[in-house]
Amino acid sequence: MSNKYSFPGHSKKKHCDKSKVNSVSCQADSYHVPGGTYVPVILAYINLETDIASHVTLPSPAKEIKSIKKNVSLKQCEVLKHPGSRGKAKIFVKGTIHKNIQYVESCNGYLRDYSVDVPFTCIDEIFIPGADKELKSQKSSLTHEYKYSSKNKLGADPHKSGSYTHEYFNEPIECVLKSADIMEIDLFKDYKHGRFTNLTERMEVNLWMMLVQNQERFAFRYEDAPDCPRLEDEVEEKEELPSEQKPSKPILDLIQERIDRMNS
C-alpha cells in the first residue's frame, strides 16, 4: 500500500508502544515428577484418499509423452476436534502434486520438459481416541472483572478495578506424511496432425499419515501408583476404536503391503 494513502485511526507504526516498568518480582517453585516423560504419541494412522480431475495444456504440441514425474507435498494439514465430540474430529488437508512432463514434438528432435502444479484439498471426519482434552482460555476481563467500593460506599470506585485472565496452551495434533501413491489416467485431447496439446487427468491419490500429539506420561512406583477403581464404581465408559478400525500393524507395514499388491 502506498504511503500517500492513510485511514482515520490507523497508525503507521509497525510495533506497539511499550509501557514503563517500575518493578518486577519473580518467584519460581519446582516439583519432582517420578518417572515423568514428555513424548510424541501416535493417536491414529490415517489413509486419506482424494480423487482429482485436472486439465493441463502443454506449451507446444506433443507427439508422445515420454515420462511423468510426480511429487506430493502438503501445504496444510489441520485437525479440528469439537469439544462435544466423542473421539471424532475433522481433518483439513491442502496439498500440491508437482508434475514434471517430458515429451517429444516429432519422431526425431529435442526432449521437451514442462512442469505444472496440481493443487488439491480434502476435508473428512476421522476417529482419534486418546487425544488430550483441550482446555479453554479466558483472555478477556469482561467475565472476570473485579470492582471495588467507592469511599462513600454508595457505588463502584471509578479509579480502581481488577481482573483475572488465563491462557491454556493445548498441545496441537500434528500430521506426519509417511507415504503417498497415485493411480493416474491421462486422456490426450484435440489431436491435430498426429499431435496434441491438451491433457485431461484423472487421479486417485492415497495419503498415508500419522496423527501425533506430544503428551505427558508417568511411570509410578508400585507404592506411588493410584488406586484402580472398582468396576462397579466406574461411571463413564471408555471410548474404544471400532474393531474394524483397530490398527494391528505399523503404518509402514500397511504401506508396504499396498505396494506389494500393486506390484504383484
Grid cell digits, residue 94: 491442502
105/35 Cα distance (integer angstroms): 67
∠ CA(6), CA(10), CA(16), 5° rounding? 135
Question: Would you state the pLDDT for residue 15?
Answer: 81
93/206 Cα distance (integer angstroms): 12
Dihedral in degrees, nearest 10, Cα atoms 11, 14, 16, 22 = -130
Phi, psi dihedrals of residue 224, rounded to the nearest 5°: -95, -10
Whole-prediction pTM value? 0.70
144/163 Cα distance (integer angstroms): 6
Please write the tens of the pLDDT for every residue from 120-149: 999 999 988 888 888 788 887 777 888 889
239 has pLDDT over 70: no
Q: What sign does the dihedral 94-100-106-110 (CA atoms) show?
A: positive
113 has pLDDT over 80: yes
Q: Residue 114 — left, alpha, or beta (φ > 0 → left; ψ -120 to 50 → alpha)?
A: beta
The H or E element spanning position 47 is strand 36-62
Q: Exposed/middle/buried for 175, CB within 10 Å: 0-12, 13-18, 19+? A: buried
Please write the tens of the pLDDT for every residue from 46-59: 999 999 999 999 99
Mean pLDDT for 148-166 is 88
DSSP state for residue 258 in the 8-state scheme: H
